[in-house]
Structure 1
Amino acid sequence: MVNGKIHSIESMGLVDGPGIRTVVFLQGCCLRCSFCHNPDTWCISGGTETSSSELIDKLIRFKSYYDKSNGGVTFSGGEPLLQPKFLLEMLKLCKERGIHTAIDTAGHGLGNYEEILKYTDLVLLDVKHIGENNYINLTGQNNHKFLEFLKALNNSNTKVWIRHVVVPGITDSKEHILELAEFINKNVKNVEKIELLPYHSLGAEKYHKLSIEYPLELVDDMDKDVCNELQDLIRSKCSL
């Protein structure tokens, strides 16, 4: 069995894939997104060390809920692809037990994507921004690893849900949303759903407690009605 670092576990998640799901938040992330609301997941040395056997024992306790709701397990983070050996082991153990698997990822991992995707039913793909300079400004990293993962994803049969955070003054213009739609149509296969997530500032308190400067201190929360209008727009352009 393989050991991994876990930040936390949500036992009855309803928004991270289809049905009722257990969401396993893995520790560690190399991005520093301006809107990140979980800075306590960044450091890979944090969290709680857990073996794959211990974790699968916890997950199968909820299998009846998965089966009744067409749910399953979602591995999130942080960035789950930063722990590829542990993630792969967990995906295999879930599939052996007939549990639907999903990964919530920005695609910034350590490789072995083809093997990981063999055991992944759904990828919740976090598209942070489009264009390298915009990507760097928002995340602190270039988009090369994202594009590397996207290539592997397109070569797989894994279904995809696109996720994109809409931040006032940064990613909330209609022009940007239309450019995003064009990028998705040209570059992402097997897309079943697109979700635009309205930015909120609920994570700011964590930054203050950790004595970290919050990058969007002066940015208001995104208006949910406007975000819904933009979501209708992008879905219409992507035939969803």
Structure 2
Amino acid sequence: MPDQSTRAMLDDVNLSILARVRERATGRARVLAALPAGWLDGKTEPPAPAALEALGKLISDAPILFLRAGIYPDTDGGLQVENLGYPFDYEMAIDAQGAVTIEKDGEPVKDASVLEAMIRTEMVLTPDTVETVMSYDGWPVVVRIGTKAGRILGFALPEEEPFEFVGVLPSEGASREFQTGHIDMRAVMLDPYTVLFAFDEGGRLNPILGEIREAWLPAPGLMARALALLDESRAAPEPVPHA
């Protein structure tokens, strides 16, 4: 598990990733604001000014809510924010008057600050299994980590970095593009919906919300086929003892 100095480093640069999330969500809000009346079937209402204002405040105050969530228009002038999967399912409904209703796994949540606290807590993952995909000189270089959010690939980092591995949890779209050979692992890691983790063997996976350092990225050209070939000689998964 990262020590206190590592946690401080991650916290100090949180705004850099979240600023990019905020920019992406703001861009989506602009697209929705430009929808005309009748945008779906000639009878639907465009997003109301009050709904767009409430969305903008959420994006500004709590951009982590939009890390992997999609933003969609309702037919009655409202908006929907929906996240499926990691770290959990949640939905924010913004009506045409700007009132916000939040649900997590179908249960009501008091407000956005409570949801943000839940997200920050549940983004941290505990590994169930760790298997070596590739090793060099007896040290694991690529590992596969089993978690409740799915399998995460971990890539060993240089010794001067503050943690041993950077873990990669791609979005469904990036994963599909990688598996079909359309993009390499570097592009997966830079995909705006991919989540990266700081990971030390024996510890938990802590989400990285700061800058993506060049030292954490593989060289261009690391494709799924190469990892599949490495996978043929992987070690058997070993359960991770929980404290």
- TM-score, normalised via structure 1 length: 0.27
Structure with the largest fraction of helix: 1
